[in-house]
Homo-oligomer: A and B are copies of this chain.
Amino acid sequence: MSSVTPRGAATPAAATRMRSEDRRELVLAAATAVFGERGYFGATTDQVAKAAGVSQPYVVRMFGSKEELFLAVVGRALERLLATFRSAIAEAGPAGSSGVTAVTDRMAQSYAELLADRGLLLSLMHGFLLGTEPVIGERMRDGFGQIYALLRDEAGLSPEEARVFLADGMLLNTLVSLQLAREVDTDAAFAELLACALPTKLDLIRGLGTAR
């Protein structure tokens, strides 16, 4: 499949030799998944290390501390979220040109697609719930402000339209994290809610709920 370096063979699990930048990205992706599931406090640097196939002290060394690792995770998540929204806006044009629903629908679709990036949106969500943490809270307020500014200034949404869009996003995060899809086959009410909240993405959510 992928190229194996001359030194190969003795290196850990999934990770054969690679550029340090790639390895940093690998650890960030692993950390995103772990923080997304258990939150900042619930996740351990050892869980991240095992998920990335490196040693626990190396994870800490790489980022300085667990808190800085979390800040890097949410920073990266925010970057991707904003970039994805900008692509959507570029495709659909801002709200002024061809109606509001063109942009919001396109952005909502982008948002749902970001769910495929395991833990990315849920790491942000966990962060949003830690507003009283001195460092993390400040960072999350700033990030939330960037999202709101994009919706207003770049997507061209009104305050009310932006509010509704954000509310839908928060519900989506909650439903995914709750893994409601787990009982979608046995609970008619959950099936009804999910069908309503995720018109076209039921299969995607179902996949996320079971793949553990």
What does DSSP make chain A's interface, helix, strand, loop or mixed?
helix
Which single member of B144, B179, B190 contacts A178 (CB below 8 Å)? B144
Size band of the interface chain A makes with B = 35 or more
Are A189 and B40 closer than 8 Å at their CB atoms? no
Contacts A/B (CB < 8 Å), 18 sampled = A38-B41, A38-B132, A39-B41, A42-B42, A128-B174, A128-B178, A129-B129, A129-B178, A131-B177, A141-B180, A145-B190, A162-B193, A163-B197, A164-B167, A170-B170, A170-B171, A170-B174, A171-B171
Contacts A41-B38, A41-B39, A41-B41 given; indicate if A125 touches B132 (C-beta within 8 A).
Answer: no
Copies in the complex: 2
**Interface check A187, CB cutoff 8 A:** yes
Given A178-B131, A180-B141: A159 in contact with B37 (beta carbons within 8 A): no
Known pairs A42-B130, A159-B196, A162-B193 / 20 extra A-B pairs, C-beta < 8 Å: A38-B132, A39-B39, A39-B126, A41-B41, A41-B42, A122-B129, A129-B177, A131-B178, A131-B179, A137-B178, A141-B178, A141-B179, A141-B182, A141-B183, A144-B180, A148-B190, A152-B189, A159-B195, A163-B196, A166-B193
Q: Which residues of B contact A164 (CB under 8 A)?
A: 167
Assuming the A-B contacts A126-B129, A159-B196, are A189 and B41 also in contact, with contact meaning beta carbons closer than 8 angstroms in the complex? no
Task: Tell me whether A149 is interfacial, beta carbon within 8 Å.
Answer: yes
Q: Which residues of B contact A42 (CB under 8 A)?
A: 39-42, 130
Contacts of A39 in B (CB 8 A): 39, 41-42, 126, 129-130
| A window 84-131: CB within 8 A of B | 122, 125-126, 128-131
Q: Which residues of B contact A192 (CB under 8 A)?
A: 159
Q: Does A168 contact B (CB under 8 A)?
A: yes
Report if A212 contacts B (CB, 8 A). Answer: yes
**Is A160 engaged at the interface, CB distance under 8 Å to the other chain?**
yes
Q: Which 10 A-B pairs have the closest CB atoms?
A: A41-B42, A170-B170, A167-B171, A131-B179, A167-B167, A41-B41, A131-B178, A159-B196, A129-B177, A170-B171
